[in-house]
Amino acid sequence: MAKVKKQPRPKAQTPKGFRDYFGAEVAQRTEMLTKIAGVYHRYGFDALETSAVETVEALGKFLPDVDRPNEGVFAWEEDNDWLALRYDLTAPLARVAAQYRNDLPSPYRRYAMGPVWRNEKPGPGRFRQFYQCDADTVGASSVAADAEICAMLSDTLEVVGIPRGDYVVRVNNRKVLNGVLEVAGLAGDDKEAERGIVLRAIDKLDRLGVDGVRALLGEGRKDASGDFTKGAGLSDEQAEIVVGFMQAKRADGAATVARLRELVAGSQVGADGVAELETMAELLSAGGYQSDRIEIDPSVVRGLGYYTGPVFEAELTFEVLDEKGRPRNFGSVAGGGRYDDLVKRFTGQEVPATGVSIGVDRLLAALHAKGRLDKTMDGPVVVTVMDRDRMADYQGMVAELRNAGIRAEVYLGNPKNFGNQLKYADKRNSPAAVIAGGDEFDAGMVQIKDLILGAEIAKNATLEEWKDRPSQYEVPRDQLVAKLREILDGQG
Amino acid sequence: MAKVKKQPRPKAQTPKGFRDYFGAEVAQRTEMLTKIAGVYHRYGFDALETSAVETVEALGKFLPDVDRPNEGVFAWEEDNDWLALRYDLTAPLARVAAQYRNDLPSPYRRYAMGPVWRNEKPGPGRFRQFYQCDADTVGASSVAADAEICAMLSDTLEVVGIPRGDYVVRVNNRKVLNGVLEVAGLAGDDKEAERGIVLRAIDKLDRLGVDGVRALLGEGRKDASGDFTKGAGLSDEQAEIVVGFMQAKRADGAATVARLRELVAGSQVGADGVAELETMAELLSAGGYQSDRIEIDPSVVRGLGYYTGPVFEAELTFEVLDEKGRPRNFGSVAGGGRYDDLVKRFTGQEVPATGVSIGVDRLLAALHAKGRLDKTMDGPVVVTVMDRDRMADYQGMVAELRNAGIRAEVYLGNPKNFGNQLKYADKRNSPAAVIAGGDEFDAGMVQIKDLILGAEIAKNATLEEWKDRPSQYEVPRDQLVAKLREILDGQG
């Protein structure tokens, strides 16, 4: 007989750069998104959910990040049209703002949360699909809109579990920077390349320190590995003006504003920027947002080229240990600013817009690092199966538990090996197992095994303090719910 | 001067077959998914979120629907690998169950909710991206797992707002059908085509009635348009056996089971199926699920070929009006069953599985049709801007309202035209507008315009009953929150 050649089996693997999220990971993110949506909603923002797929034409072909202009999207041809997965939530907003411009309220406040896709080389902790969580106001030119976004960002951080004092929203204004550059003799179209280098140099202050930035403003900088990065070629005098700007932060907002006003003296755009910062500070103060939550910080510039006015960044101010156990600042978890050519490429009309994007995964990581995510045993109570013929009785028990709001399930594997059932309960992180065989049914009783207590006993070598508390006991069947609730309430 | 040729502007349009969801549409779906996840969680199911992108190899190239075996997925080549958007949530579950088989608990109960993509011709109400909401148990061969899914489906429908009596979960078993086909002389590999036709014919009972199905079981059927569908070619005697099966439903589960047992007499697989149905009925009854919620109904077969045991379907039993105003049954909103070769294509090992998929969009449509979705004015309170220089005061007001949990915003457009501000509030579905200019500030007062009342007055021609209730009045500034809460609580 001829052998039929078998197809090789497919590999059970996620594509490179993609990952799966299980149980608590999903639940914690969902919970965080729900909390964030609650704040956004309270601020009058409306939800918008666009599809994952857009035409390449509507999306624009390139990511907005100037450092990687050619990094791409996942795209394919379909019916003579090129389609692609969205790479952020701003490009679809631009399309929506243009498509529905006659129907949407103006200003249009919208929030959006969902995955975006980047066709980039994956790396450790760097995935090709990740969540974004944005809020933008389209059609409002007033900096009141920017102030509102900053206030909302501050509220959001507190609502998701970052207490006041553990974060700061830092605000700056691109017009101030432009004014400073004008004063330094770097205005004009022929200086665009230099301005770009200055922008990115300031953005690296955290990492390189003042001397590193100064080097990048001048001839350039050689890093520890010997690689040389070409600088902006500024004279010492010019560089000093920029460094003065970076270090213009004073003890309070008023003093910082005064210092900035000195620095941009003679530049109209600079004066406009300082006035905008001042207005934002006033509005925020009136809303109860003082400098312990939102402060003016001239060192914030945001690397992206497209911002045109206020820029802001939320930073967590506590230290965490990195992979090697060294303390480091947790750093930025959100950022945004004003950008004014959102809809223009579709309609030709300039529409002002401002918005923020929160890095949900970073924020979750921060809460994990601070031990602020719920770690109670959230597994279900497992009703074990001693007697296969009594499955209806076991189902009755779990139904009763579920109706009482207790997460519960009956063991559905092969019940032959009882040890496997307890191992299963362990793997599920169960707080308790319920055990009932013929004897218990005859006596109208059930056994409860307290697995939280069991885990405590296993952790603590000295059994002394536990010995009076049995981790397994019998209760009358009709006290099953009450007893389990006692165990569940006692945990944590 | 030579004219620079301009790039044509991109079209601001969703790709064909895709759509955007706004405001309440997103919020209502999110709320429904949260409720469903709550029930699934209580039943011990754990969340799983896989990425939208899978390798074509892992996904399998084709949709499971036998009627459209060549209908496709959205796929593209990437680094010599073909990637595709998932077309359902079951194929990724199969990949996960194989990939993590040594780490996952067994049985593995998981739920998943999210968009899936189908590269099909779009039509009215038929989109290429839509939500699925699945729960499956992998690794449990006992029908206790199927019974649990049915109970969970019943609970879920009630939790999302379909009261008992407005739905029924109908249960059948493919083995019973196979037994009936065996009795009718349709067993054996050479009869597979006939069995497929029979399966799909029974599935059309609702639409075609008994005579229509009988025609499809025999020579075939000509529809109203004159199109002929070839039948299974059964003899009258054979067809009668199948029709008898379809109509085997009796007044209660026990009588139906007894009737089915008669029909499959002599077939082992048929007897097994009847025994499974009986066991499920027992387990469900023990959990409190009687035939007003879950009933045995032999006419449920589910069109898909891959089910191997219990099959079930949730149907809404009330009538709604269709587009032409005719009453019709709302019909099916969820379905599922047992399928046993989930993981086999990856590992060679047979792993039993059972699960359900809820049509979230259908369910939302049903709640809309019954007027059961919240229709209160959920827009924000709009604080209007009479005096541009007092923006900080207005921001202070909205901050106070938000802190009191009231959805509120300050008008951020150009405040020059006050009428535009009220039109905006109207477009936002605002319950109230707050108005304060120089006079009010001097007197420590604010004006409140009750837009709910305004809308009522506009709706009702006779102003008599309203004339004592002014829709705009002045209150002291420090009573702003209290007064607005009164208005918001009063709406219904």
Q: What is the pLDDT of residue B77?
A: 86
- Interface-testing mutation among A20, A56, A397, A428, with chain B (most B C-beta atoms within 10 A): A20
> How many interface pairs between A and B have CB atoms less than 8 angstroms apart?
296
CB < 8 Å to B23, chain A? 46-48
* Phi, psi for residue A450 in degrees, rounded to 5: -80, 105
CB < 8 Å to A58, chain B? 10-13
Q: Determine if residue A28 is labeled as part of a ligand binding site.
A: no
Provide the residue type at B259 as one letter. Answer: R
Q: What is the pLDDT of residue A207?
A: 84
CB < 8 Å to B37, chain A? 30
Read off the DSSP letter of residue A2.
Answer: P
Q: Do B396 and A10 touch (CB under 8 A)?
A: no
- The minimum CA-CA distance between B100 and chain A, rounded to whole Å, is 9
Q: Do A12 and B98 touch (CB under 8 A)?
A: yes
Q: Which residue of B has its CA nearest to A151?
A: B399
Q: What is the mean pLDDT of residues B127-155?
A: 96
Q: Residue B182 above 90 pLDDT? A: yes
Question: Is A483 in a helix, a strand, or coil?
Answer: helix
Distance CA(B84)–CA(A150), nearest Å, equals 39
Q: What is the mean pLDDT of residues B82-92?
A: 93
- Interface-testing mutation among A33, A54, A59, A78, with chain B (most B C-beta atoms within 10 A): A78
Q: Which residue of B has its CA nearest to A97?
A: B12
User: What's the CATH code, domain A381-490?
Assistant: 3.40.50.800
- Interface-testing mutation among B6, B53, B349, with chain A (most A C-beta atoms within 10 A): B53
Q: Which residue of A has its CA nearest to B137?
A: A412
Nearest to B395 among A18, A283, A406 (CB): A283
Q: Determine if residue A306 is labeled as part of a ligand binding site.
A: yes
Q: What is the pLDDT of residue A304?
A: 65
- The minimum CA-CA distance between B338 and chain A, rounded to whole Å, is 14
Q: Do A409 and B11 touch (CB under 8 A)?
A: no
CB < 8 Å to B71, chain A? none
Q: Can you give the length of chain A in residues?
A: 492
CATH 1.10.3720.10 applies to domain A23-369: no
Q: Which residue carries 């924000």 as its tokens? A: B380
Crossing angle between the packed helical segments B268-286 and A391-403, to the nearest 10 degrees: 40
Q: Which residue of A has its CA nearest to B7?
A: A345
**Degrees, nearest 5: CA angle B397-B402-B405:** 135
pLDDT digits (tens), chain A, 492 positions: 455 556 678 999 999 999 999 999 999 999 999 999 999 999 999 999 999 999 988 987 555 543 443 458 898 888 778 899 999 999 999 999 999 999 999 999 999 999 999 998 888 778 999 999 999 999 999 999 999 999 999 999 999 999 999 999 999 999 999 999 999 998 888 888 888 888 888 888 888 889 999 999 999 998 888 889 899 999 999 999 999 998 999 988 889 999 999 999 999 999 999 999 999 999 999 889 999 999 999 988 886 668 899 999 999 998 888 778 888 888 899 999 999 877 898 999 999 999 999 999 999 989 988 887 766 668 999 999 999 999 999 999 999 999 999 999 999 999 999 999 999 999 999 999 999 999 999 999 999 999 988 777 777 655 565 556 678 889 999 999 999 999 888 764
Q: What is the pLDDT of residue A378?
A: 84
Nearest to B44 among A27, A100, A407 (CB): A407
Q: Residue B492 above 50 pLDDT? A: no
CB < 8 Å to A19, chain B? 51
Q: What is the pLDDT of residue B69?
A: 38
- The minimum CA-CA distance between B466 and chain A, rounded to whole Å, is 29
Q: Residue B353 above 60 pLDDT? A: yes
The DSSP code sequence of B317-375 is EEEEE-TTS-EEEEEEEEEEEEESBTTHHHHS--B-EEEEEE-HHHHHHHHHHTT-S--
- Domain regions of chain A by residue span: 23-369, 381-490
CB < 8 Å to A21, chain B? 47-50
pLDDT top residue among B105 and B69 = B105
- Point out the least confidently predicted range of A178-182, B225-229, B368-372: B368-372
Q: What is the pLDDT of residue B65?
A: 47
* CB contact set of B429 (below 8 Å; sequence gap of 6+): B377, B378, B379
pLDDT top residue among B327 and A240 = A240
**Tens digits of residue pLDDT in B406-433:** 999 999 999 999 999 999 999 999 999 9
Q: Are B108 and B356 in contact (CB under 8 A)?
A: no
Q: Do B107 and A380 touch (CB under 8 A)?
A: no
Neighbours of A470 (CB within 10 A): 11
Nearest to B140 among A382, A399, A413 (CB): A413
Percentage of residues of chain B with pLDDT beyond 70:
92
Distance CA(B299)–CA(B166), nearest Å, equals 19
Q: What is the pLDDT of residue B81?
A: 82
Q: Do B78 and A81 touch (CB under 8 A)?
A: no
Q: Which 3-state string (H, E, C) describes A17-59? A: CCCCEEHHHHHHHHHHHHHHHHHHHHCCCEEEECCCEEEHHHH
Q: What is the pLDDT of residue B224?
A: 84
Nearest to A148 by CA among B395, B407, B388: B395
Q: Where are the beta strands (DSSP E) in A267-391?
A: 294-296, 310-321, 327-339, 353-358, 381-383
Q: What is the pLDDT of residue A193?
A: 86
* CB contact set of A15 (below 8 Å; sequence gap of 6+): A128, B51, B53, B54, B55, B78, B81, B83
Q: Which residue carries 């032999």 as its tokens? A: B298
CB < 8 Å to B382, chain A? 44
- Interface-testing mutation among A26, A345, A488, with chain B (most B C-beta atoms within 10 A): A26
Nearest to A160 by CA among A37, A291, A319: A37
Q: Do B10 and A396 touch (CB under 8 A)?
A: no
Q: Which of A109-123, B38-52, B375-389 has the highest mean predicted lDDT (pLDDT)?
A: B38-52
Q: Which residue of A has its CA nearest to B348?
A: A9
Percentage of residues of chain B with pLDDT beyond 90:
66
Q: What is the pLDDT of residue B68?
A: 42
- Helix or strand run (H / E) with residue A473: strand A472-476
- B/e letters for B63-86, b = 16+ CB within 10 Å, e = fewer, are beeeeeeeeebbbbebeeebbbbb
Neighbours of B425 (CB within 10 A): 26
pLDDT top residue among B188 and B463 = B188
Q: Cα separations (Å) of A301 from A198, A246, A305, A306, A456?
A: 10, 9, 10, 11, 50
* CB contact set of B5 (below 8 Å; sequence gap of 6+): none
Q: Provide the ipTM.
A: 0.90
Nearest to B144 among A55, A286, A412 (CB): A412
pLDDT top residue among B369 and B335 = B335
Q: Residue B71 above 70 pLDDT? A: no
- Interface-testing mutation among B51, B364, B381, B414, with chain A (most A C-beta atoms within 10 A): B51
**Tens digits of residue pLDDT in B235-263:** 999 999 999 998 999 988 889 999 999 99
Distance CA(A82)–CA(A76), nearest Å, equals 6
- Point out the least confidently predicted range of A261-265, B197-201, B368-372: B368-372
Q: Determine if residue A136 is labeled as part of a ligand binding site.
A: yes
Distance CA(B390)–CA(A463), nearest Å, equals 68
CB < 8 Å to B406, chain A? 42
Q: Determine if residue B306 is labeled as part of a ligand binding site.
A: yes
